[in-house]
Amino acid sequence: MAMKLYDYGTAPNPRKVRIFLAEKGVEYELVQVDMTKREHKSPEFLKMNPSGKVPVLELDDGRYLSESIAICRYLEGVYPQPNLFGTDPFEMGHIEMRNRQMETELWSQIGVSWVNGPVMAKAGIYTQIPEAKAASDVNVKNYYERLDGELAASDYIAGSRFTVADITLLTGVDFASTMVGLKPDESLRNLWRWHALVSSRDSVDALQ
Amino acid sequence: MAMKLYDYGTAPNPRKVRIFLAEKGVEYELVQVDMTKREHKSPEFLKMNPSGKVPVLELDDGRYLSESIAICRYLEGVYPQPNLFGTDPFEMGHIEMRNRQMETELWSQIGVSWVNGPVMAKAGIYTQIPEAKAASDVNVKNYYERLDGELAASDYIAGSRFTVADITLLTGVDFASTMVGLKPDESLRNLWRWHALVSSRDSVDALQ
């Protein structure tokens, strides 16, 4: 029995895990959860993940893990090669730091723009706060500029090789570009050079 | 030369690292950064952490790490005992999952209530969005109820022993209670039982 990954096509968090699994060369079964039908809030799904979010990994012994980076960390333990989280304590700390900066400083702001943007307004799930979206749109654009500066001195986002932090940034930027109307400006050449480098990897699926 | 931790008294993220270091029994030097004077945005500080946030750990070789959980992960690598991040891949994934749920589902909402609350309104740094605070206040209270249910079946937040996820939850709840006006209701007996258990540890400093 293979592992199962509960996924939803355009959602960025399951995409992180799909790229991570492809880097590791692991076989698994993909199960689609239709978020437009609120299947991720069904009683069956909440038994796997009480938070009602994709992705969920079902292990071959029937245990579950959720939260994309937690799933990746489990996979790193079981399939250590290629290393994506760091090999010594300082590198592990540094990669975690960079990954968290991408999450708390960029993804969080993309998320605010997403839940207060036109797609989610139509879904009618959250009270819309246009002032929050106005602020987060600006924060995302400013952060792209910071990243462009940082990537002038570095091929990858957490040092000289591809790591989980690149996966987090790529999936965030692609989601922002295609679903949230926050594509980085063409003038940000270092950011786009990094984007082309990372997107060319065999593990990175074409955008849906 | 000892490690230095750049700290600010009432900030919850440096407190995470202080508790973690005390659990490990590691000696270090504490350096206060006066956030009310914006010292964390000074050119000197930004050289250590371009994100302009505490905590920062300065290693004895002069390298720096920021982001509280990234610092903790570095420390776990250098000082493996007592283990606080898990010992096998599944436990490591499970603790990371629980830690992240505390961050993305609780801390993030406490943060919205904090930046849109009276202390920060007075500081005049962020545009105040009262609708955002109204929503996050409700989310925090609902999440406390969920936690109370989960803690009916478990002594600790990520299994049967104290882990980094308990540190994250404790520092979040204490910050929310003392600085954000979001103290859990007295009726949440499992949450308060857990709070007393965790607060009684030698590593947990008294609240400022």
Which one of A70, A93, A131 has the shortest CB-CB distance to B70? A93
Helix (H, G, I), strand (E, B) or coil at A53: coil
Q: Note whether B77 contacts A: Cβ–Cβ < 8 A.
A: yes
**Residue A152 at interface with chain B, using a CB cutoff of 8 Å:** no
Q: Identify whether A14 is preceded by a cis peptide bond (ω within 30 of 0).
A: no
Of the pLDDT bands very low, low, confident and very high (cuts 50, 70, 90), residue B77 is very high
- Residues B40, B33: contact at Cβ < 8 Å? yes
Here the ipTM equals 0.95
- pLDDT at position B208 is 42
Among A73, A89, A101, beta carbon nearest to B92:
A73
The SS3 of residue A105 is helix
Q: pLDDT at residue B58 above 90?
A: yes
- The tens digit of pLDDT for each residue in A124-167 reads 888 899 999 999 999 999 999 999 999 999 999 999 999 999 99
Distances (CA, A) of A128 to A180, B112, B139, B141: 15, 15, 15, 20
Q: How far apart are CA A23 and CA B75, in angstroms?
A: 27
pLDDT digits (tens, 9 = 90+) for A6-44: 999 889 999 999 999 999 999 999 999 999 899 999 999
The residue of chain B nearest to residue A109, with distances taken between CA atoms, is B108
Chain A residues near residue B150 by CB distance under 8 angstroms: 50
Mean pLDDT computed over every residue of chain B: 95
In chain A the domains, ranked by start, together with CATH numbers, are 4-78 (3.40.30.10), 89-199 (1.20.1050.10)
Locate the chain A residue with the closest alpha carbon to B49: A97
Laid out side by side, the sheet with A64-66 consists of A29-32, A4-7, A56-58, A64-66
As a whole number of angstroms, the distance between CA A188 and CA A186 comes to: 5
Nearest chain B residue to A88 by CA distance is: B77
The string of pLDDT tens digits covering residues A81-111 is 999 999 999 999 999 999 999 999 999 999 9
Residue B26 has pLDDT above 80, yes or no: yes
Cβ–Cβ below 8 Å for B77 and A59: no
State the pLDDT confidence band at A208, using cuts at 50, 70 and 90.
Answer: very low
- What pLDDT was estimated at residue A206? 59
Cβ B127–A146 below 8 Å, yes or no? no
pLDDT of residue A123: 87
Strand partners, A4: A29, A58
Say if residues B13 and B53 touch (Cβ distance below 8 Å): yes
Q: Tell me whether residues A69 and B127 touch, CB distance under 8 A.
A: no
B143-197 residue pLDDT tens: 999 999 999 999 999 999 999 999 999 999 999 999 999 999 999 999 999 999 9
Taking Cα atoms as reference points, which of A87, A52, A72 lies closest to residue A3? A72
CB contact at 8 A, B69 and B95: no
Q: How far is CA B180 from the centre of its chain?
A: 14
Identify the pLDDT of residue B49: 96
Q: How confident is the model at residue A1 (pLDDT cuts 50, 70, 90)?
A: low
Rounded CA separation A31/A75 (Å) = 18
Angle at A156 between CA A151 and CA A157, to 5 degrees: 70
Other CB atoms within 10 Å distance of the CB of residue B34: 10
Question: Is B149 near chain A, with CB under 8 Å?
Answer: no
CB contact under 8 A, A100 and B69: yes
Closest CA to B75 of B11, B7, B25: B25
pLDDT of residue B1: 66
- Interface check B46 vs A, CB under 8 A: no
> Is the pLDDT confidence value at A207 over 60?
no
What percentage of chain A exceeds 70 in pLDDT? 98
Which pLDDT does position B143 carry in this prediction? 98
Chain B closest CA to A32's CA: distance in Å? Answer: 21
The bridge status of strand A29-32 relative to strand A4-7 is parallel
Query: Between these two residues, B124 and A78, which has the higher pLDDT value?
Result: A78
In chain A, residues with a C-beta closer than 8 Å to the C-beta of B50 are: 146, 150
Report yes or no: B79 and A110 within 8 Å, Cβ to Cβ: no
**Which has the closest alpha carbon to A55: A103, A95, A4, A107?**
A4
Q: What are phi and psi of B129, to 5 degrees?
A: -125, 90
